[in-house]
Amino acid sequence: MELCQERFLNYSSLLSSLVNEDGTGLNDTTVAFLHQLFPNDMFVKAFSLLETHNIFLYVWSSSEGSNNGIYDVSALAETLYDDNLGSTTLLRMIVQSIDQEFSKEPIYVDVSAWFCSCSEYSECLQDLTSITIADEDPLDKYFEIYSHSTGDCFSRIRENMYMNTSKTLCQHLLAGAILLQTSAKVLKYFTAVKQTVSLICISNKDDWLKLHLNIVE
Ligand SMILES: [Zn+2]
């Protein structure tokens, strides 16, 4: 049985063209289109996060002490898109809250599980409780099944399973998906070229464990 449903847009490909061919600047036409594509100014908010030094990507490296804390950000970004290494690399994404009066807590984002600790995302999930038993399978509303042969990684949580982004999307997940579910070119642009997103290699176990308490220093 053909599991692939026509998605009309390859979001990974489209979001990847956010950055120009040589990865040195933004593609203004694509940026303008993306402003219209996502509702409720979602793209504007996500793009703002990407440009204002509020996102921290921590990557675990077991090569403790071998590089004296010096690492190549571009090379690290490449490993996250490496077919062999990318899926097994340990990664934590933390967003510093930009609205300090609303919340001082850092926000934890797990793009691969399509989870975010923000209140916006929680509100998306609260809709689940309002679904009546008469619905055959309420969870269907939150998941979509596509063939991996489409090459679209946006909101993918397993080989063929995707989150339904019309039901579950927040600015942090969109920003995370732009970084981690498009192409190495995009990730390198924000981390190594423009340097507005911090990509940090950690090889100290104590520092890595602190991340699980959402401590950002
Ligand atoms: Zn969020």
Please tell me the distance between residue 173's alpha carbon and the centre of ligand 1 in angstroms: 6
Please tell me the distance between residue 41's alpha carbon and the centre of ligand 1 in angstroms: 14
Report if residue 79 sits inside a domain: yes
Report if residue 3 sits inside a domain: no
Please tell me the distance between residue 110's alpha carbon and the centre of ligand 1 in angstroms: 10
Please tell me the distance between residue 179's alpha carbon and the centre of ligand 1 in angstroms: 15
The answer for residues whose C-beta is within 8 angstroms of residue 95's C-beta and 6 or more apart is 49, 54, 55, 56, 106, 107, 109, 172, 175
Please tell me the distance between residue 32's alpha carbon and the centre of ligand 1 in angstroms: 23
Q: Is the pTM of this model over 0.85?
A: yes
Identity at 186, one-letter amino acid code: V
Instruction: Give DSSP secondary structure letters for the chain.
Output: ---PPP-SS-HHHHHHTTB-TTSSSB-HHHHHHHHHHSSTTHHHHHHHHHHTT-EEEEEE---TTSSTT---HHHHHHHHT-TTTTTTS-EEEEE--S-TTT--S-EEEETTTTEE-SHHHHHHHHGGGGS-TTSS-GGGGGEEE--GGG---TTB-SSSEEE-TTTS--HHHHHHHHHHSS-HHHHHIIIIIS--SEEEEE--HHHHHHHTTT---
Please tell me the distance between residue 205's alpha carbon and the centre of ligand 1 in angstroms: 27
Mean pLDDT of 132-139: 63
Report if residue 4 sits inside a domain: no
Label residue 160 by pLDDT band (50, 70, 90).
confident
Count Cβ atoms within 10 A of the Cβ of residue 100 and give its class: 0-12 exposed, 13-18 middle, 19 or more buried: exposed
Q: Give the total number of structural domains in the chain.
A: 1
Both structure tokens of 92? 């934590």
Please tell me the distance between residue 158's alpha carbon and the centre of ligand 1 in angstroms: 20
- For 150, the domain range is 11-63+72-97+104-211
Label residue 114 by pLDDT band (50, 70, 90).
very high
Report if residue 1 sits inside a domain: no
The more confidently predicted of residues 26 and 88 is 26
What confidence tens digit (pLDDT) does each residue in 7-40 have? Answer: 678 999 999 999 999 999 999 999 999 999 998 8
Mean pLDDT of 57-77: 79
Please tell me the distance between residue 119's alpha carbon and the centre of ligand 1 in angstroms: 7
Please tell me the distance between residue 49's alpha carbon and the centre of ligand 1 in angstroms: 11
Report if residue 217 sits inside a domain: no
What confidence tens digit (pLDDT) does each residue in 170-215 have? Answer: 999 999 999 999 999 999 999 999 999 999 998 888 888 887 765 5
Report if residue 22 sits inside a domain: yes
Please tell me the distance between residue 174's alpha carbon and the centre of ligand 1 in angstroms: 8
Please tell me the distance between residue 114's alpha carbon and the centre of ligand 1 in angstroms: 10
Identity at 217, one-letter amino acid code: E
Please tell me the distance between residue 115's alpha carbon and the centre of ligand 1 in angstroms: 8
